[in-house]
Amino acid sequence: MTLSTSFQPLYKQVYDQLTQRLVNGHWKPAEALPSEMALAAELGVSQGTVRKALNQMVAENLLERQQGKGTYVAEHTQESSLFRFFRLREPDGQSLIPDTQVLSSARRAATKTESIKLNIKGKSQVVQLLRLRSLQGEPVIMEKVVLPLSVFPNIDKELEMPNSLYTLYQDKYGISIVSVRDELRATEIPDEYADKLNLAVGSPVMMVERQSINIDGRVVECSEAYYATNKYVYATEHR
Amino acid sequence: MTLSTSFQPLYKQVYDQLTQRLVNGHWKPAEALPSEMALAAELGVSQGTVRKALNQMVAENLLERQQGKGTYVAEHTQESSLFRFFRLREPDGQSLIPDTQVLSSARRAATKTESIKLNIKGKSQVVQLLRLRSLQGEPVIMEKVVLPLSVFPNIDKELEMPNSLYTLYQDKYGISIVSVRDELRATEIPDEYADKLNLAVGSPVMMVERQSINIDGRVVECSEAYYATNKYVYATEHR
DNA sequence: CAGTGGTCTAGACCACCTT
DNA sequence: AGGTGGTCTAGACCACTGC
């Protein structure tokens, strides 16, 4: 294990090194990592130090461990990522899985705001997707997703858009979304979306601006969505 | 350390025992706990086991530890609890501290919904507070708070209502709010609140239904609030 | 300086899974 | 049975705080 000049606990250096391998794609989603003993021997530290790094990565949803089996790279399946980041619920708290329809896909230059949010050069190329999402056959979300082409080359040429984009990001582009930041406001629904969400012109809707963060900490996606909350609610929890 | 019949890891038993002391009020907020060594000796386990329990409690915001000083019961100061649970932000992400004005306080029987949410007997007595909260002099939240009298005896007789109720709950009633669950919808502002929030009748606002959870896991407060989100946004993050 | 929590190690044993 | 992660221990040393 290489020592850095500024003091860092050993387990933190191990953590950084292992996380780097995930970012690099050295270990792919659902793949098994070497055992604690093997990693400890390779990195020249004790088993306990490796364990501390691994457990921190589990806490951050980067890895999954199972007693008796091994340590695996966390996988974003359709189910799990929809379950984690899709916030609409029945008012009683029951969670549901949405259906998704891609309405359009287009390439264009980033706006100023977008280039700031995505931390890309002004007027870089982005892809804009328009999606309509439904729960139990009822349209509930009209969503505009903006992706930098530099991160997702030719994503507008994709034929099959999965229900959860995050699985596509992971499988085709090596992007693992680990967290999202949402900003919510109430507003009147834009006229052009009213029909699509089965709402009267001027109905109150929730606008959700989201930034999605990759395992390496970069914002790689931003979206702006209108949520119809007459039948479902946006649920969240704070600790 | 007493062993239970069903298997529990030692550190979990230590965790339960220490948490129980917090619930009991055996250790008060801001008070220092005995050192790891002392606790280990008292409970008949090793220092490492105590540490694992303590660190879990730190992760849950129950304790705070400082190298060289000691372990302290987490305190809900005005600042910290407002910072944690007050979600309105400037659109650029900057967080602000609200001012609060109590408009009314009344005792009444719980509604059916309230008794379910608060897990109390139907028609138990509750206190309802009406509060108006402002940011930078601008009214932004109209809030109805419902509290079971059984948990907060005579809270309607309180003279000084602090800016953050949570500090009052902690200091006078031994209630430590550790998490909140919010359900959000967009709706038209109720006519009677429009004036108070400086909004036109029929303006879209965000309705936030909140349940607040005590250290022992009980829901001890529920509230229903209308947020004006024309100038500020409700910010949240998911991992 | 003494006392606290934080890191790191090494080894023993347990619980679980696969073969 | 053999390998994995999970628990628990004991001891050494480090980093920080306050007297």
The dihedrals phi and psi of B233, each to the nearest 5 degrees, come to -125, 155
- Average pLDDT of the residues in B133-142: 97
Examine the domain organization and report whether B111 and B182 are in the same domain. yes
Residues of B with a Cβ under 8 Å from any A Cβ are 60-61, 84-85, 87, 89, 91, 178-188, 204-206, 209, 227, 229-230, 233-239
H-helix or E-strand spanning residue B108? strand B99-109
Residue A236 C-alpha, separation from nearest chain B C-alpha, in angstroms = 5
- Average pLDDT of the residues in B73-87: 90
Give the domain CATH number at B64. 1.10.10.10
Instruction: Single out the residue in B30, B48, B73 at which a domain terminates.
Output: B73
- Chains A and B form CB pairs within 8 A to the count of 97
In the structure, how far is the CA atom of residue A47 from the C1' atom of nucleotide C10, in angstroms? 9
In the structure, how far is the CA atom of residue A27 from the C1' atom of nucleotide D11, in angstroms? 36
How far apart are alpha carbons B16 and B31 in whole angstroms? 19
Residues counted in chain B: 239
The pLDDT tens digits of the residues spanning A34-89 come to: 999 999 999 999 999 999 999 999 999 999 999 999 999 999 888 888 889 999 99
Residue A80 lies in a domain: no
Examine the domain organization and report whether B153 and B110 are in the same domain. yes
The answer to whether the Cβ–Cβ distance between B204 and A227 falls below 8 Å is: no
- Determine which of A8-22, A161-175, B2-16, B25-39 has the lowest per-residue pLDDT on average: B2-16
Per-residue model confidence (pLDDT) at position A229: 98
User: How remote is the C-alpha of B216 from its chain's centroid?
Assistant: 12
How far apart are alpha carbons A216 and A179 in whole angstroms? 11
Check if residue B54 sits with its Cβ under 7 angstroms from strand D: no
Examine the domain organization and report whether B180 and B139 are in the same domain. yes
SS3 of A49-94: the string is HHHHHHHHHHHCCCEEEECCCEEEECCCCHHHHHHHHCCEECCCCC
Residue A237 lies in a domain: no
Check if residue A38 sits with its Cβ under 7 angstroms from strand D: yes
Q: Which nucleotide is nearest to B8 (CA to C1')?
A: D7
Q: Model pTM?
A: 0.93
State how far the alpha carbon of B152 is from the alpha carbons of B20, B25, B146, B169, B211, in Å: 20, 16, 11, 8, 16
The answer to whether the Cβ–Cβ distance between A239 and B179 falls below 8 Å is: yes
Examine the domain organization and report whether A53 and A99 are in the same domain. no
Residues of A with a Cβ under 8 Å from any B Cβ are 60-61, 84-85, 87, 89, 91, 178-188, 204-206, 209, 227, 229-230, 233-239
Look over chain A and give the mean of its residue pLDDT values, rounded to a whole number.
94
- The closest CB to that of B233, out of A89, A179, A183, belongs to A183
In this structure, are strands A219-227 and B177-188 parallel, antiparallel, or unpaired?
A: unpaired
Residue B3 lies in a domain: no
Q: What is the rounded radius of gyration, in angstroms, for the C-alpha atoms of chain A?
A: 20
Examine the domain organization and report whether B95 and B138 are in the same domain. yes
Residue B2 lies in a domain: no
Cβ partners under 8 Å of residue A160, min gap 6: none
Examine the domain organization and report whether A28 and A102 are in the same domain. no
How far apart are alpha carbons B225 and B132 in whole angstroms? 10
How far apart are alpha carbons B100 and B94 in whole angstroms? 19
Give the domain CATH number at B148. 3.40.1410.10
Contacts 24+ apart (CB under 8 A), B48-55: B49/B10, B49/B11, B49/B14, B50/B11, B50/B14, B52/B11, B52/B14, B53/B11, B53/B12, B53/B14, B53/B15, B53/B18, B54/B18
Which chain A residues are Cβ-neighbours of B230 within 8 angstroms?
185
- Domain containing A153 equals 90-232
How far apart are alpha carbons A227 and A193 in whole angstroms? 11
Alpha-helix residue ranges (DSSP H) falling in chain B: 10-24, 36-43, 47-59, 78-85, 112-117, 165-173, 191-194
Chain D positions with a protein C-beta closer than 7 Å:
2-11, 15-18
Which residues of chain A fall below pLDDT 70?
1-7
Closest CA to B70 of B98, B44, B31: B31
User: How remote is the C-alpha of B52 from its chain's centroid?
Assistant: 25
pLDDT value at B189 more than 80: yes
Q: Which nucleotide is nearest to B35 (CA to C1')?
A: C4
Residue B21 lies in a domain: yes
Residue found under tokens 């930098």:
A148
Other beta carbons within 10 angstroms of residue B13's beta carbon come to 18
Examine the domain organization and report whether A136 and A220 are in the same domain. yes
Instruction: Single out the residue in B36, B53, B73 at which a domain terminates.
Output: B73
The answer to whether the Cβ–Cβ distance between A239 and B186 falls below 8 Å is: no
The answer to whether the Cβ–Cβ distance between B238 and A84 falls below 8 Å is: yes
Examine the domain organization and report whether B15 and B86 are in the same domain. no
Instruction: Single out the residue in B49, B73, B97 at which a domain terminates.
Output: B73
Examine the domain organization and report whether B94 and B28 are in the same domain. no
Residue A85 lies in a domain: no
Per-residue model confidence (pLDDT) at position B6: 53
Amino acid residing at B66: Q
For chain A, how many structural domains are there in total?
Answer: 2
pLDDT value at B3 more than 70: no
Check if residue A69 sits with its Cβ under 7 angstroms from strand D: yes
The answer to whether the Cβ–Cβ distance between A183 and B91 falls below 8 Å is: yes
Phi-psi label, residue B154: left if phi above 0, alpha if psi -120 to 50, beta otherwise: left
Examine the domain organization and report whether B184 and B115 are in the same domain. yes
Check if residue B9 sits with its Cβ under 7 angstroms from strand D: yes
In this structure, are residues B101 and B132 in contact, taking their beta carbons and an 8 Å threshold? yes
The dihedrals phi and psi of B49, each to the nearest 5 degrees, come to -70, -45
- Determine which of A192-206, B3-17, B164-178, B213-227 has the lowest per-residue pLDDT on average: B3-17
Residue B1 lies in a domain: no
DSSP notation for A95-127: B---EEEEEEEEEEEPPHHHHHHTT--TT-EEE
Examine the domain organization and report whether A107 and A211 are in the same domain. yes
Residue B216 lies in a domain: yes
Q: Which nucleotide is nearest to B46 (CA to C1')?
A: D9
Examine the domain organization and report whether B43 and B128 are in the same domain. no
Per-residue model confidence (pLDDT) at position B159: 81
The pLDDT tens digits of the residues spanning B149-168 come to: 999 999 999 888 888 999 99
The answer to whether the Cβ–Cβ distance between B238 and A187 falls below 8 Å is: no
In the structure, how far is the CA atom of residue A150 from the C1' atom of nucleotide D14, in angstroms? 45
